Amino acid sequence: MNLDVLVEPFKFSFMIRAFIGTGLIAVIAAVVGTFVVLKGLAFMGDAIAHTAFTGSAIALLLGLNLYAGAMALALVTALGVVFLTRVSPVKNDTALAILFTGVFAVGIIVLSAMPGFAGDLNSLLLGSVMAIQTEEIYLIAAAALAIAFLMWVFFPRFVLVSFDPVGAEAAGFPVTLVQSILLVGVAAAIVISIQAVGVVLVVALLITPAATGSLVTRRVLPLMMVAACVGLFSAAAGLYISYYLAAPPGATIVVVATSVFAFTLILTRLRSWLRRRQGD
């Protein structure tokens, strides 16, 4: 393999920033996404992404920081879900769907009220990897450190409230607080990830690597590590492919991650089938 193929994208500083930023984002999303997969919260991840979109739109309208706007509404959604699950007589997914589609619709109205909104809308919906600035790299790195700290302190507690929240709460464990901390982490990961793949595909970055990990291991920590590796590989491979094929980078990253999942699924099925045959 010609080494130039690997090196060439790094001649451009925007590509270096894209590799660093997207790599960090992919790892953050995969680590947090592990719990999203284990708890079956994919729909909620989607909801947070959509409300974060509205937060960005409002921030754009008011001339504020896009991340701050996105994070504010993502947090409201994440913590609102915790509240809804406790008080709402309506099913959780129904209440969530009502909440996030309503908020997302507000975001579309806000953006359509602004002249020249199409470009911003496009980058919010589909991501803008190549436009990552150095300051954003710092922000993403800070988010990565914060997530690493959360996992270092709370990992066994996240596992506990994910596996048996009822038993934990019955024993007086602060389940709601720990779930809220986890959801704040999920919200932060989603807001950061929107930069890479946009609102539409952000759930894929969160879910697909962790789902791939769940195919190959039955322990949480190894699953998280596999997910991080798959996320990192997908980000790097996706950027290379998009560079050489002039394809949209966010979508390409997601296609690579989906392909890795499909490939792993086929391999694991094949392995099970061979084992069954050997057992017969």
Partner 1 sequence: MTSSAVSVQDVTGGYHGDPVIHDVSWEVPHGSLAAIIGPNGGGKSTLLKSLVGLVKPSQGRVFLFGQEPEQGRKRVAYLPQAEEVDWQFPISVWDVVLQGRWLRKGLWGRLTREDLDKAESALTHFDINHLAKTQIGSLSGGQRQRVFLARAVAQEADLILLDEPNTGLDARAQHELADTLTRLKEEGRTIIVATHDLDCLTECFDQVLALKSTVVAHGSPRDVLTAEILTALFARHFPSLRETGEVVIHEP
Find the binding residues for partner 1 in span 91-150 (CB under 8 A): none
Residue with tokens 């996706």: 238
Q: Return the range that interacts with partner 1 (CB under 8 A); candidates 58-66, 70-78, 188-196, 213-221.
A: 213-221
Is residue 176 within 8 A of residue 82, CB to CB? The reply is: yes
> Per rule CB under 8 A, is residue 279 in the interface with partner 1?
no
Tokens of 18: 């894209």
3-state class (DSSP) for residue 248: coil
Return the number of the residue (125 or 181) whose C-beta is nearest partner 1. Answer: 181
Least spacing, CB of residue 128 vs partner 1, in Å = 35
Return the number of the residue (93 or 114) whose C-beta is nearest partner 1. Answer: 93
Q: Which of 59, 43, 48, 51 is nearest to 102 (CA)?
A: 51
Tokens of 178: 């720990």
Contacts of 183 by beta carbon, 8 Å cutoff, 6+ apart: 78, 79, 81, 82
Return the number of the residue (119 or 156) whose C-beta is nearest partner 1. Answer: 156
The contact mask relative to partner 1 for 153-192 (x = CB under 8 A, - = no) is x--xx-xx-xxx-xxxxxxxxx--xx--------------
Query: Which H or E run includes 114?
Result: none
Size of the site for partner 1 (CB under 8 A): 27
Residues in touch with partner 1 (CB under 8 A): 38, 89, 153, 156-157, 159-160, 162-164, 166-174, 177-178, 214, 217-220, 223
